[in-house]
A and B are shown apart, each in its own frame.
Chain A
Amino acid sequence: MSQYAMVIDLDRCVGCHACAVACRAEWKVPVEEGYRRNWVKRIGPVATPHGLSYTFYPGLCNHCDHPVCVDVCPVDPEERTFKSFKDGCTKKMTIKATYKEPFTGIVLIDKERCIGCGACVEACPYHARYLDETLDEPKADKCTFCFERISRGEVPACVKTCIGDARIFGDLSDPNSEVSKLVKAGARRLESKVVKIGPNVYWKGKKKDIHALMSAFAPMEKTWEEVKNGPDRLRRSLIKALV
């Protein structure tokens, strides 16, 4: 099975925010507090053991190997047939309203079936999801690695606009892909002692910059129990009522 992934090269990134805006434009993400699929956060200038660092956290959904957002989705599973856009192979799978697409490893949301409970939004240790409450019926939303574009032979919008060519996108299951090589060469992902759910976005760069990034944005230290019981009381009761 393929696993699409992204490596962001901080040495090539100048923190211009083109990625964040191109994504907003491509997917009409409303401008509300916390609504974004793709973001740039600035770090520093801050002292690190390796020298002064002024770097960035260009972030997006990690499309994790073990996505807690999928685990907490309370929507009843349904069987669905998936078709690979690469070779046309099909596969049957039972999915909730959010799921890991079997041919790409991309975590997607079935907007038709999303009940807008926000459980996945709260569960994500990377704050990569938001609940779009500008809609008549609120729905969860997040980065799809531009599934709709890549399945039509295009590259993700953020990759296409990146002025420093800092974003490398590809298939980790292919050992010859550039992402595989960069990961092998030591690109790092955002993990912490208790949050190890196999994220598929990596960063590479100077020691000081990686240190600054890891220090500032390692995922929140939530235990599995906390994540599972994460949604606030109101949402929990809502989920119980619906499930």
Chain B
Amino acid sequence: MKRRDFLKFSASTALALAALDMDKKGGFFKAATSYAKETGSLPGSLGAKEVPSVCEMCFWRCPIVGKVKGGRLVKIEGNPKSPANGTRVCARGNSGVQLVYDPDRLKYPLKRMGERGEGKWAKISWDEALDEVAHNMDKVRKKYGPHALAYFDHGASAEFTREIFKALGTENYSSEPAFFQCVGPVAIAYLDTMGFVVSGTRQYIDMANAKAILLVASHIGENVHVSHVKEFIEGLSKGAKLVVVDPRFSAAANKADIYLPIRPGTDTALLLAWINYVIQHGLYEKEFVERNCIGFDKVRAAVKDYTLEWAAKICDLDVKDIEAAIKLLAENRPHVAVHPGRHSTWYGTGDVERHHALSILASIFGAVGQKGGIYFPTPVKKAHAHCAACSEEHEIEEPDVSLRDNFPFVEPLPGTPTGAIIEATLTGKPYPIRLWGINGVNIIQTIPDPYKTMEAIKKLDFIYCEEMLPGETAIWSDIVLPSATYLERYDALHAYDGLTPYLTVRQPVIEPPFEVKTPYWIAKELAKRLGLKCFTCENEREFIEEELKELGHSLEKLNQEGGLITIKPNPYRSPDKLEMPTESGKILLYVEDYEDEDLDPVPRFVPTPAPPKGYARLIYGRVPVHTFSRTMNNLWLHNEWPENHAWINDQVAKKIGIKDGDEIVLENQDGRRSNPVKAKVTPGIRPDCIYLPHGFGSKSKHLTKAYGKGASDQFLITKTVTDPFMGSTSKRTNFVRILKGEKALEIPELRPVPKEIPRFELKRA
């Protein structure tokens, strides 16, 4: 089976239908409970009308209930019917209220008046705005061909308009930073070895039932996805041992039994040495490997020279610690959660290899399909309403030279690498790109080298966006279409296929305010103007009813049941009936397809260059109260965490005279400077790194709370390496030094770099 076929297969599996049938027999959910109507004048959120829906403060999509009093959304809680999060929502989930009532919200369609990037607008009517978008799409398509259109998208709000770009025939109908700047490498590594995306939107890793957990730079807890965190905590509270590998002492590292402060860029060296150790010492599951894995002998041969002593030197770790860690993990096999990771576009070179190595480690531990290991998603039957898309199947005619050509393993995915689109927009090669549509993503704060992105935007004939807030995307757009928040709209049925599967639906808790419209309405109106036969339902409710009807349900019935249907999970398989969703039914430890493309069929350690003298590597991550750069203007979240801090090692700080709380500026290897940011001096970071939480330092004055608060990591990421597998771009290949006042402070090298690791060479002016 080809990867493409597999994806189709997995999307249409009918297992869950059985689960739904059992539901009808009273198998899985309790008697219907009707949702409360508003009652009396009780204190707080008590007595509110409750509407079940789905959160979108991030993209984990927790089931929620919106609580409404006097027509106003007052509170959001987890949907008690949800087997994943129950009544729990995170700080962001709680703060959806302030997304709705953000005074800076986009209220009307806008037309740019000043230069692109200036943020000067005039209010226009919906007809004018839609006419102009449709006219430009049509004009650019006729003049330059369909591929001159590119669509940057993320999340449910972007799905309908994606259909339009597809129907117009562009290969660039889905360019997701969520893939090419985030999960790309991990998704590909597991798809190619295990036959399914063990980590993409979801991570199918059974931490709740693990006896040991390995996290390689996953800072769970700072990266908050409620059910994921809940399962992590559950596992630990039941006694799971935890090994954390991270150059920074994260909230997760604080809970570790063994913490390994690894030199950045050397994770694969550690993993390969561990794999070798496990094989040499017979600490793997022999029967499982014989029965279920292909290429074990090739792996054994390929890793035989990677010793723990070698890894200790490369990774700057104590050999005793790394031996203790691998023993701890191995003795708990097969119930070991080798976390696949999520954000994985780190170094460009070796990203897929790192996750391939993690996949091998999990496999030789036999930790696949077993309690505590990687588990299988439970297929949830989802019907598709025809009127939610375009009625005709549009064949996309490939261009002579495709932007996807250079990336052999991007094939099973719909997207075009964002870096390739920006390059083509700037150079006109291999073909011109002259129009961008943007939906649900801040391309300036998400894609590396925003300076280049801004240059590319200046070259476009037309750029428009659908947005809720006037962030960077909006100020760079010619037309801004104000879009409904997740609390004001329906979206297609939402199926969760993790450990606690369910089916639910996003539905409006309140009406869209001002002249704000829903993504379905906007797509429908655009399609109409472009003469496309799409979106034939009157409104969203109609297609959701159509989806539910196929499952023998209705919206009313679903809401009587609390807005959510619980499905029986089916995550584990016996090791002798593993039936991996690969062509052979087995795990490919050795990936022949990679060899065919001159890529490593078994991971090899290729070092990423070390910081140049006087610089530290810039690393970044999340804070638990913010999502990307989307939530910094939220009243409550801004209040909890208004700005970021630059983490600096305490010994480094002492040597260069920086004190905790000092205001500093970071300058990268290309001379790009950050906003002023406060130093956080701590022993909890290696001396060769500086850590800056992501998403701060907004450049849009229209975000009155977020503007200029903290420093943007993205504006310091100007050097990227492109991954050869699927075209993602690296984000941890940049180096910074500190400016205090105007004085440049060189970062002393407290941890010498071994000769096996080359050093990044500064361009000399």
Interface residues of chain A, those whose CB is within 8 Å of chain B, are 11-12, 14-18, 20-22, 24-28, 31, 40, 44-47, 52-55, 146, 148-149, 152, 154, 157, 160-166, 209
On chain A, the residues within 8 Å of B250 by CB distance are 54
**With contact pairs A26-B75, A45-B683, A148-B43 given, residues A18 and B233 touching in the complex (Cβ less than 8 Å):** no
Is chain A's binding surface mostly helix, strand, loop or mixed? mixed
Q: Tell whether, in the assembled complex, residue A20 and residue B640 are in contact, meaning their CB atoms are under 8 Å apart.
A: yes
On chain B, the residues within 8 Å of A165 by CB distance are 230, 233
- Residue B197 lies at the interface, judged by CB distance under 8 Å to chain A: no
- Residue B88 lies at the interface, judged by CB distance under 8 Å to chain A: yes
- Residue B635 lies at the interface, judged by CB distance under 8 Å to chain A: yes
**With contact pairs A16-B624, A31-B639, A54-B249 given, residues A152 and B42 touching in the complex (Cβ less than 8 Å):** yes
On chain A, the residues within 8 Å of B222 by CB distance are 14-15
Q: Tell whether, in the assembled complex, residue B255 and residue A11 are in contact, meaning their CB atoms are under 8 Å apart.
A: yes
CA distance A26 to B69 in the complex (A): 12
Q: Tell whether, in the assembled complex, residue B233 and residue A54 are in contact, meaning their CB atoms are under 8 Å apart.
A: no
Q: Tell whether, in the assembled complex, residue B45 and residue A17 are in contact, meaning their CB atoms are under 8 Å apart.
A: no
Q: Tell whether, in the assembled complex, residue B90 and residue A16 are in contact, meaning their CB atoms are under 8 Å apart.
A: yes
A-B contact pairs, 30 of them (CB 8 A): A11-B236, A12-B233, A12-B237, A14-B220, A14-B252, A16-B91, A16-B625, A17-B624, A21-B91, A21-B637, A22-B75, A24-B636, A25-B636, A26-B45, A31-B636, A46-B684, A52-B249, A52-B254, A52-B684, A54-B251, A54-B253, A54-B254, A149-B43, A149-B46, A152-B46, A157-B44, A161-B87, A163-B89, A163-B90, A164-B230
**With contact pairs A31-B635, A152-B46 given, residues A18 and B87 touching in the complex (Cβ less than 8 Å):** no
CA distance A193 to B496 in the complex (A): 52
Question: Binary interface profile of B, 68-79, with partner A (CB < 8 Å = 1, else 0)?
Answer: 000000111110
On chain B, the residues within 8 Å of A166 by CB distance are 233
On chain A, the residues within 8 Å of B253 by CB distance are 54
**With contact pairs A25-B45, A152-B46, A163-B226 given, residues A14 and B251 touching in the complex (Cβ less than 8 Å):** yes
Q: How far is the CB of A81 from chain B (nearest CB, A)?
A: 20
Q: Tell whether, in the assembled complex, residue A25 and residue B88 are in contact, meaning their CB atoms are under 8 Å apart.
A: no
- Residue B668 lies at the interface, judged by CB distance under 8 Å to chain A: no
On chain B, the residues within 8 Å of A162 by CB distance are 88
Q: Which chain A residue has the least Cβ–Cβ distance from B261?
A: A52
Q: Tell whether, in the assembled complex, residue B624 and residue A20 are in contact, meaning their CB atoms are under 8 Å apart.
A: no
CA distance A52 to B259 in the complex (A): 10
Q: Tell whether, in the assembled complex, residue B683 and residue A161 are in contact, meaning their CB atoms are under 8 Å apart.
A: no
**With contact pairs A44-B684, A45-B683, A161-B89 given, residues A21 and B624 touching in the complex (Cβ less than 8 Å):** no
On chain A, the residues within 8 Å of B254 by CB distance are 44-45, 52-55, 209
- Residue B729 lies at the interface, judged by CB distance under 8 Å to chain A: no
Classify chain B's interface size: 35 or more
- Residue B443 lies at the interface, judged by CB distance under 8 Å to chain A: no
- Residue B55 lies at the interface, judged by CB distance under 8 Å to chain A: no
Considering the complex of A and B, which 6 residue pairs feature the smallest CB-CB distances, nearest first?
Answer: A45-B684, A14-B221, A17-B91, A21-B94, A148-B43, A54-B254
Q: Tell whether, in the assembled complex, residue B88 and residue A18 are in contact, meaning their CB atoms are under 8 Å apart.
A: yes
CA distance A76 to B441 in the complex (A): 58
Q: How far is the CB of A210 from chain B (nearest CB, A)?
A: 13
Q: Tell whether, in the assembled complex, residue B93 and residue A18 are in contact, meaning their CB atoms are under 8 Å apart.
A: yes
Question: Binary interface profile of B, 216-235, with partner A (CB < 8 Å = 1, else 0)?
Answer: 00001110101001100100
On chain B, the residues within 8 Å of A18 by CB distance are 88-91, 93-94
Q: How far is the CB of B249 from chain A (nearest CB, A)?
A: 4
On chain A, the residues within 8 Å of B224 by CB distance are 14, 16, 163
On chain B, the residues within 8 Å of A45 by CB distance are 249, 254, 682-685
On chain B, the residues within 8 Å of A28 by CB distance are 74
Q: Tell whether, in the assembled complex, residue B75 and residue A25 are in contact, meaning their CB atoms are under 8 Å apart.
A: yes
CA distance A24 to B87 in the complex (A): 17
CA distance A164 to B682 in the complex (A): 26
Q: Which chain B residue has the least Cβ–Cβ distance from A42?
A: B251
- Residue B85 lies at the interface, judged by CB distance under 8 Å to chain A: yes
On chain B, the residues within 8 Å of A209 by CB distance are 254
- Residue B641 lies at the interface, judged by CB distance under 8 Å to chain A: yes
Q: Tell whether, in the assembled complex, residue B95 and residue A21 are in contact, meaning their CB atoms are under 8 Å apart.
A: yes
Q: Tell whether, in the assembled complex, residue A160 and residue B87 are in contact, meaning their CB atoms are under 8 Å apart.
A: yes
**With contact pairs A54-B250, A54-B253 given, residues A22 and B94 touching in the complex (Cβ less than 8 Å):** yes
- Residue B97 lies at the interface, judged by CB distance under 8 Å to chain A: yes
CA distance A37 to B581 in the complex (A): 51
On chain A, the residues within 8 Å of B233 by CB distance are 12, 14, 164-166
Residue from A152, A162, A163 whose CB has the most chain B CB atoms within 10 Å: A163
Q: Which chain A residue has the least Cβ–Cβ distance from B624?
A: A16
Instruction: Choose among A15, A27, A160 the residue that contacts B624 (Cβ–Cβ < 8 A).
Output: A15
Q: How far is the CB of B208 from chain A (nearest CB, A)?
A: 12
Q: Tell whether, in the assembled complex, residue A14 and residue B89 are in contact, meaning their CB atoms are under 8 Å apart.
A: no
CA distance A142 to B564 in the complex (A): 36
On chain A, the residues within 8 Å of B640 by CB distance are 17, 20-21, 40
Question: Binary interface profile of B, 605-631, with partner A (CB < 8 Å = 1, else 0)?
Answer: 000000000000000000011000000
Q: Which chain A residue has the least Cβ–Cβ distance from B95?
A: A21
Residue from B75, B85, B220, B259 whose CB has the most chain A CB atoms within 10 Å: B75
Q: How far is the CB of A43 from chain B (nearest CB, A)?
A: 10
Q: Which chain B residue has the least Cβ–Cβ distance from A45?
A: B684
On chain A, the residues within 8 Å of B684 by CB distance are 44-46, 52, 54
On chain B, the residues within 8 Å of A16 by CB distance are 90-91, 221, 224, 229, 624-625
Q: How far is the CB of A74 from chain B (nearest CB, A)?
A: 27
CA distance A28 to B635 in the complex (A): 12
Q: How far is the CB of B221 from chain A (nearest CB, A)?
A: 3
CA distance A162 to B87 in the complex (A): 9
Q: Tell whether, in the assembled complex, residue A52 and residue B683 are in contact, meaning their CB atoms are under 8 Å apart.
A: yes
On chain B, the residues within 8 Å of A149 by CB distance are 43-44, 46
Q: Which chain B residue has the least Cβ–Cβ distance from A19?
A: B91
On chain A, the residues within 8 Å of B251 by CB distance are 14-15, 54
CB contacts under 8 Å to A, within B253-279, are 253-255, 259
On chain B, the residues within 8 Å of A24 by CB distance are 636, 639
Q: Tell whether, in the assembled complex, residue B46 and residue A25 are in contact, meaning their CB atoms are under 8 Å apart.
A: no
Q: Which chain A residue has the least Cβ–Cβ distance from B228?
A: A163
On chain A, the residues within 8 Å of B46 by CB distance are 148-149, 152, 154
CA distance A46 to B680 in the complex (A): 11
Q: Tell whether, in the assembled complex, residue A161 and residue B636 are in contact, meaning their CB atoms are under 8 Å apart.
A: no
Residue from B93, B252, B255 whose CB has the most chain A CB atoms within 10 Å: B255
On chain A, the residues within 8 Å of B90 by CB distance are 16-18, 163
Q: Tell whether, in the assembled complex, residue B625 and residue A17 are in contact, meaning their CB atoms are under 8 Å apart.
A: yes
CA distance A148 to B41 in the complex (A): 12
